[in-house]
Amino acid sequence: MNKPLRRIAIFCGLLIMTLLIRDNWLQYVKAGELQDNGKNRRISIERYAQPRGDIIVDGNPITGSAKTNGSDYAYKRTYKNGPMWAPVTGYASQAFGATQLESLEDGILTGNDDRLFFRRTLDMITGKKKEGGNVVTTLNGAAQKAAFEGLGSKKGAVAAIDPTTGAILALASTPSYDPSKFAGNSTTTDTPAWQKLQKSQNPDDPMLNRALRETYPPGSTFKVVTAAAALEHGLYPDPDDKTETPLPWVMPNTRTELKNDGPLPCKDATLRMALQVSCNTVFGKAGADLGKDKMRETAEKFGFNSEHFIPVRANASVWPKEMDEPQTALSSIGQFETATTPLQMAMVAAAVANDGKLMEPYMVSRLQAPSLDVIEKHTPDEMSRPLSEENAQKLQSMMETVVEKGTGRNAQINGVKVGGKTGTAQHGVDNSEKPYAWFISYAKTDSGSPVAVAVVVEDSDASRGDISGGGLAAPIARDVMKAVVDGKE
C-alpha cells in the first residue's frame, strides 16, 4: 500500500473508532440522562401510545383513557369523579407530567416496569399491543364520598385508617381539582386550566394535598398524645386519679397563667375529666412536668418528626426539639410550634384504637399485571408501639367519655362505641385568624375497630365564635366512620 492510501486508511480507522466511542458513550453512559431529560418527547409519546392501566377502588377503576385526535399522543388520561379522588390519584398530564400514584406507579400503569418484561416479550412475539397494569388501592369508596361531601365547600382535609392493618380508607382534601381538565396538551384548553389551579392565580391552592402535605397546629387533639405520655411515663397511671393541678396554673418560670376555654371544672381534675372538657391547665402542666424529652419520645413513637411514605410522601409532623418549660407546656396542648398533618393525627387515633400498636399506613394493596396476575402485594407492618395495651385501653375509655359526655357528642353513632377528641386550634399573629376545627376519633364494634379518622376544617363560612372541632369536624368524622361500619355489616 502506498503512502497516501495508508494515510487514508488510518484516517478512516480513526473516524470509525471515534464513532464507536461516541456511540457507546451515548448508549451506555448518557442513556439514563437522555431518557430522563424533560425535553425528550419520545418518552412521553411512548407513555401515551396506548391506554394506561387503571387505579382501582373497591374493585372498580377510578381512572380511564380516551383516544385523542390530531396529536402524536395517542391516548390521554381520564378520571371518574376526579376532584374527589385527586388526593389519591394525583394527575397524569401529557403537558405537565405526573404526580402521586400516577407518577410513583408509572412503570406499572404504562406497562414499562421491569417486572412485566416477560409479558412484554410475549406480547411482542404474538403481536399483541402493549398494555399497562393496575394499581389496586386500599381506599373505601363510601368513606371517601362521606369525607369529600362532608367537607363540601369548606377548606380542609380528612384521613381515615384501618387501625388493625394501617390501610388508608379515605384521603380527601378540599378545595380540589379535576385532573381530566389538563390531562392533554392543548394550549387552548389544558394550559389555561392548569394555570388557573396554580397558587399564584388561586390563593386557595386546590392542588395542595392537605391530608398529606399541609401541617396545622393540632390544638387540643394533641392532648391525646400528652395523655399517652402521662400514662406511659407513670405521671398519672390511673385516669381517674386527681392530677393535683391548681387553678389558675402559672407556667413555669413565668408569671403567665395558662387559660382554659371558659370556667371549666379543671382544678385537680382527673385525666378523664380533663380530656372530656379539654383542660389546657391539666395537660399543659402534665407536659411541663414530664419535660420535653419524654414528650418527644412519645410523640415520635406516634410518628412525629418523620416523613411517611404511603407510598406518596407525607410531610413530617413537628414536635419541637428545642424548647423551654413554658414552651413545652404550650406544645403539650397543641400550640407553640407543634404542627401535624391530618394523616399523622389519624395515626394517633389508630394506635390508641389498636391497643397501642401503630401499623404503618399504606394505600396500595397490590400491583397487577395486565393479565390481573398479582406482581406485588403489600403486607401490613407494625411501625411502633406508642402505648402498652393496658394504657391504650385506659386512653380508649377516656376518649369514649369525650364522645359520650364531653365535647365530642356530635360523633355518636347508634349501636357503635366511638372514642374521640375535639380541637380548636388558634393561629395567626396574636391568634387573629379563624381557628382550625379538628376532630380525631375511632369507631369500635364487637368485631374490633375498623376505622380511625382525623378531620381538619381549615376555613368555613361560620363566624369565629361558632367554630369548634365538635361542631364542624365531628359530624364529618361520624359520617366517615358510619360509612365504614355500615360496609362491614
Q: Measured between alpha carbons, how far is 116 from 93 in angstroms, rounded to an integer?
A: 23
Cα dihedral value 111, 114, 116, 120, nearest 10: 70
Q: Measured between alpha carbons, how far is 225 from 488 in angstroms, rounded to an integer?
A: 29
Q: Measured between alpha carbons, how far is 180 from 303 in angstroms, rounded to an integer?
A: 34
Mapped onto helix, strand or coil, the DSSP state of residue 448 is strand
Q: Measured between alpha carbons, how far is 274 from 374 in angstroms, rounded to an integer?
A: 49
Closest CA relative to residue 111, chosen from 299, 367, 348, 393: 367
Contact 249, 284 (CB under 8 A): yes
Residue found by looking up cell 495508508 in the block:
6
Q: Measured between alpha carbons, how far is 305 from 298 in angstroms, rounded to an integer?
A: 11
Q: Measured between alpha carbons, how far is 320 from 305 in angstroms, rounded to an integer?
A: 8
Q: Which of 173, 176, 180, 220 is catalytic?
A: 220
Contacts 24+ apart (CB under 8 A), 246-253: 246/281, 247/281, 248/281, 249/281, 249/284, 249/285, 251/284, 251/288, 251/325, 251/326, 251/329, 251/330, 252/288, 252/325, 252/326, 252/329, 253/324, 253/325, 253/326
Give the burial class of 297: count Cβ atoms within 10 A of its Cβ; 0-12 exposed, 13-18 middle, 19 or more buried: middle
Contact 225, 231 (CB under 8 A): no
Give the burial class of 3: count Cβ atoms within 10 A of its Cβ; 0-12 exposed, 13-18 middle, 19 or more buried: exposed
Decide if 220 is catalytic: yes
Q: Measured between alpha carbons, how far is 91 from 87 in angstroms, rounded to an integer?
A: 9
- Which residues does the annotation mark as catalytic? 220
